[in-house]
Chain A
């Protein structure tokens, strides 16, 4: 609450600083803007930045260290015997003190010391908040005033503002990059922990997947086998089925849109096709589980085949439908990028439309189409919701699309759903699977982008 007020007051101060800086720069030259080095608004922004940025930095640091400092001070005041507890136990005590201070439920009986510590804790927090408010605002006012006083005709406000903007942009993009790196590293380290328990070779080449590990030493029947081949095979099977649906339909609809359809039909049909891409995957998921899978099962029964209710076929077909717009819109783009001169050359020789498409346009667009298909494959491999709902959990190693299979993503979900301890091989296996998934999709994306880029160079 306190910090929200602080931010709002700070924004108000920055606005004020902007107008003051602007006014001062104008008054220095008696309103003759051309005598200034920069436009008046740059002086305004410069003053506002000096007012806001140092205060914000202080604010961020304060918030990050407040907890640790306050906790340390509370611990120092606790009785000796509590201070000497091992760190985990001490942490629990601190948690209780915090809960007590906030009026939440506490896991032990409240005694005198506890109550005293909690009061101490809340009073420290109050002092911290007050001083942050006072110090923060003084820094803002001081910064703004100093910047405003420093304005003169020759001050290079524009260059400084440009530099500040540059800095903001750089930090935004590095934030995104560091987040990615952080995620990758966390997946990597957890995977390494997993591979300390289960050998890499067993994970990559093992043919059996049964991740139930014993929680207690006396438990029976849950030994835990982590051979990921059935998962890869299941992912692969479903992806292939999806591609068998998506590539021909997507490609042909792209060809129709790009080469045959009239302007009006195209304007109408393209957005409609792209609506498919906007349907949430969970909707596809229950469509697959409740409509398509029973349909295939009944169809199979009438043909005398035994089809599982959670067949790879149903999940794959629905996933293929989901990917159609992906394939079609990427292919449409590359087909349109084939120069008209190619078509003219072919038509000029008396080729018909389909001959031109088959023999000139598709070969010319092929690298781009392949790139698009690879992107679609990586999308299919990483797709989760449809397979969670429609593909089943049993890790069968089979090439029969009528049986139930499971995929890497489904297993990651089931391994992590529910109350789990985070140091067993079972949960760590999710990170290892994620690492493999990430590596595969990253490789596919890089290959695809490389192909697409190479193809672009050819015609531009």
Chain B
């Protein structure tokens, strides 16, 4: 890990909040290069990102992001719309591969393996880095088949009974088992929005990933369903590493241990969630969380 510290040239010294006004936000940022305020590194990282740049064709969407994702932690990514937080999240399991014009440079490592290494197979990567999307997207199949889909394609079950167990335990962990156990053969699309999203979480859990990426998982849900998902995220932290993109700062404050603030494709500040929300060090972060823009 030491070798990256030299390369990345990270500024960890806090900026003087008074130094940056809203007018010269951009100028202030450029003055300090690709620096990010706060603690980029954690003691026990599950994934490490170094000098990550993302381009959509000619347009650069992510600028030189350095970030560690801690094991069994929830890290939330916040920032105004179009700041690149979702793009960054999608880099972590190479979901951006499905977009033709998208190009990623830099290094993202998991288990000392660069996931953008040419020889790497995305199938096991996506099995170990699962993803939950903004809108619940259950497949037009039965509830059972929705969950069994992943284990089937990865050959995780030895027999039908084992598959049943995987399905049951995944649904139980996602807090959905009691609600659906009597109608496993009904279509997943017939569930309510919140149930569908928990079904999608269960579907991701079913392939026993180590990291779960969540891209605004509650933005299409009502407050009660949201509360359930947040509760679930907190429980899942015990066994999984979770990275969540959210528009709701309250949600970030409630569910995450670390928070990263993105602005215009740059990682402005990252640190303990408590510290970010009570004592932000960067002017931009402060402006955002106090609601001056975004």
List A residues at the B interface (Cβ < 8 Å): 262-263, 339, 341-352, 355, 359-360, 363-364, 458
Which one, B131, B138, B154, B189, contacts A348 given CB within 8 A?
B131
- Given contact pairs A263-B100, A341-B135, A341-B137, A348 touches B95 in the complex (Cβ within 8 A): yes
Nearest-Cβ distance from residue A241 to partner chain B, whole angstroms: 32
Known: A349-B153, A350-B207. A342 touches B125 (CB 8 A): no
Do B133 and A341 touch across chains, with their CB atoms under 8 A apart? yes
A454 CB → nearest B CB, Å: 13
Q: Is B110 an interface residue (CB 8 A)?
A: no
Q: Which residue of A lies closest to B123 (CB)?
A: A350
| Cβ–Cβ < 8 Å partners of B237 in chain A | none
Chain A residues within an 8 Å CB radius of B124: 350
Residues of A within 8 A of B83 (CB): none
Judge whether A345 and B126 touch: CB under 8 Å: no
Q: How far is the CB of A151 from chain B (nearest CB, A)?
A: 57
B120 to chain A, nearest CB (A): 12
Interface string of B112-148 (1 = CB under 8 A from A): 0000000000111111001101010111110000000
B137 near A342: Cβ-Cβ < 8 Å: yes
CB distance from B137 to the nearest CB of A (A): 4
Q: Which B residues lie within 8 Å of A348 (CB)? A: 93, 95, 126, 130-131, 133, 204
Contact B140 A355 (CB under 8 A): no
**Is the Cβ of B133 less than 8 Å from the Cβ of A345?**
yes
Docked pose: A345 CA to B153 CA in angstroms: 13
Contacts of A346 in B (CB 8 A): 139, 149
In the complex, are the beta carbons of A345 and B140 less than 8 A apart? no
Taken together as a complex, chains A and B put the C-alpha atoms of A346 and B189 apart, in Å, by: 15
Q: How many B residues face the partner with a CB closer than 8 A?
A: 28
Cα A351 to Cα B189 in complex, Å, equals 20
**Are A352 and B123 in contact, CB atoms less than 8 angstroms apart?**
yes
Residue of B nearest to A367 (CB): B140
Would you give 20 A-B contacts (Cβ < 8 Å), ordered by A? Answer: A341-B133, A342-B139, A344-B131, A344-B133, A344-B137, A345-B138, A345-B200, A347-B98, A348-B126, A348-B131, A349-B127, A349-B149, A349-B153, A350-B125, A350-B127, A351-B123, A352-B123, A359-B139, A360-B139, A364-B139
Q: Which residues of A contact B282 (CB under 8 A)?
A: none
Taking the closest CB of chain B, its distance from the CB of A347, in whole angstroms, is 6
A341 to B123, CA, bound (A): 18
Indicate if B45 sits at the interface (CB-CB under 8 A): no
Is A355 in contact with B153, judged by CB distance below 8 angstroms? yes
Given contacts A347-B98, A364-B140, 18 further A-B contacts (CB under 8 A): A262-B100, A263-B100, A344-B98, A344-B131, A345-B203, A348-B93, A348-B95, A348-B130, A349-B149, A349-B153, A349-B203, A349-B204, A350-B122, A350-B124, A350-B207, A355-B153, A359-B139, A360-B140
Please indicate the chain A residues that have their CB under 8 angstroms from the CB of B131 in the complex.
344, 348
Bound-complex Cα distance A349 to B154 (A): 9
Residue B150 interfacial (CB < 8 Å):
yes
What is the CA–CA distance of A93 and B125 in the complex, to the nearest angstrom? 93
B153→A350 contact, CB < 8 A:
yes
Most buried by A among B95, B149, B200: B149
Please indicate the chain B residues that have their CB under 8 angstroms from the CB of A352 in the complex: 123, 153
Interface centre among A342, A348, A360 (most CB of B within 10 A): A348
Contact B140 A363 (CB under 8 A): yes
